[in-house]
Amino acid sequence: MALQLFAHQEPFDFGWLEVGSGHRIYYEQCGACDGVPAVFLHGGPGSSINPNHRRFFDPAYYRVVLLDQRGCGRSTPRGETAHNTTADLVEDLERLRAHLGIERWMLFGGSWGSTLALAYAQRHWARVTGLVLRGVYLGSAEELDWFVLGLRRFVPEAWNAFAAGSPVDSASALVRWYAQRVASADEAAARRWVEYESAVMAVGEAPGAGAAVDGASLVARVRVQLHYLVNDCFLAPDQLLAGLGGIAHLPGIIVQGRRDLPCPPLTAQRLHAAWPASQLRMVEDGGHSALHPAMSAALVRATGDMKGMLEGAAP
């Protein structure tokens, strides 16, 4: 089954924006120059954008903004964790929106991107037209415990390699152990973390070879990710659920893979139950990856359906 995405498109604009404390974020725009604005928020934390991320949106309708978050991808300095918090990322989005002359935009985020989308929407609801979220992650201790410890029931071989020689009395202890090593540029530890993450995400997905990543890029990505996990994603307990009242009026489509192990359906169900205006679309064959054919089809359908919900959002 082929990916259900729009044709590849090149950006019509790209650049770097100075956002303070020595950070510069990379951004690009594609689609229709005068289209309805949407912003793509990548996962991780610590990952980056890639050309396939442009393809979830109708290029004749949407003006799509994509960016690498602080310390990620082509943003500089790569792997920097100082002055890198959820609040910083939220305000970076505001700076970028103003820089591009956008009044309001639709948010599209998956996994950690869904976390950031909710945090931004709750802080700057007047700048948001709607949300499309995938593989919801709310930054809770329960979710981290599931990822770090609970998933050993599904991938015991990968988990044994992941946990070897590290403290396993709690998820937070294991994450701190990895964070300390990756902060000191331990490439082997970073690779072990990524191998476990990849094993978990591969369950239920079509087999395929991952792209080769150089050691420095790998360490930078994992350093940012663990920085956020050690600090509870810089969110108060249940902050995102408690803050839904401020965006109750906004349309939202939650696309959730039934077979998503890292971000299981229960979290999406909780979000939907607390946000009555949202739609929850369960993809029975889908996992965590947005590029699973069933997931890509559901996400393209969601951005298409969102058009009808964005009446009055055109620039």
Q: What does the pLDDT look like over 67-110, one tens digit per residue? A: 999 999 999 999 999 999 999 999 999 999 999 999 999 999 99
Closest CA to 259 of 205, 298, 299: 205
Give me the pLDDT at residue 212, please.
Answer: 58
Give me the pLDDT at residue 172, please.
Answer: 93
Give mean pLDDT, residues 262-273: 97
Please state, for a pLDDT cut of 70, what percent of the chain lies above it: 95
Give me the pLDDT at residue 204, please.
Answer: 67
Specify which residues 109 forms β-bridges with: 41, 133
Give mean pLDDT, residues 274-280: 94
Give me the pLDDT at residue 166, please.
Answer: 85
Least confident of 176-190, 192-206, 209-223: 209-223
Model confidence pLDDT, tens digit, residues 143-155: 999 999 999 999 9
The token duo for 311 is 């009446």
Active-site positions read 111, 260, 288
Question: For 262, which DSSP code?
Answer: S
Give me the pLDDT at residue 16, please.
Answer: 98
Kindly state the helix (H) or strand (E) to which residue 41 belongs, with its residue range: strand 36-41
Arithmetic mean of pLDDT over the chain: 94
Q: Is the pTM of this model over 0.85?
A: yes
Model confidence pLDDT, tens digit, residues 125-176: 999 999 999 999 999 999 999 999 999 999 999 999 999 988 878 999 999 9
Report the alpha-carbon distance of residue 210 to residue 88 in Å, rounded.
30
Of the pLDDT bands very low, low, confident and very high (cuts 50, 70, 90), residue 297 is very high
Model confidence pLDDT, tens digit, residues 24-44: 999 999 999 999 999 999 999
Of the pLDDT bands very low, low, confident and very high (cuts 50, 70, 90), residue 2 is low
Of the pLDDT bands very low, low, confident and very high (cuts 50, 70, 90), residue 254 is very high
Burial class (CB in 10 A: 0-12, 13-18, 19+), 219: buried
Specify which residues 253 forms β-bridges with: 132, 279
Domains along the sequence of the chain with CATH: 13-138+236-309 (3.40.50.1820), 142-233 (no CATH)
Of the pLDDT bands very low, low, confident and very high (cuts 50, 70, 90), residue 209 is very low
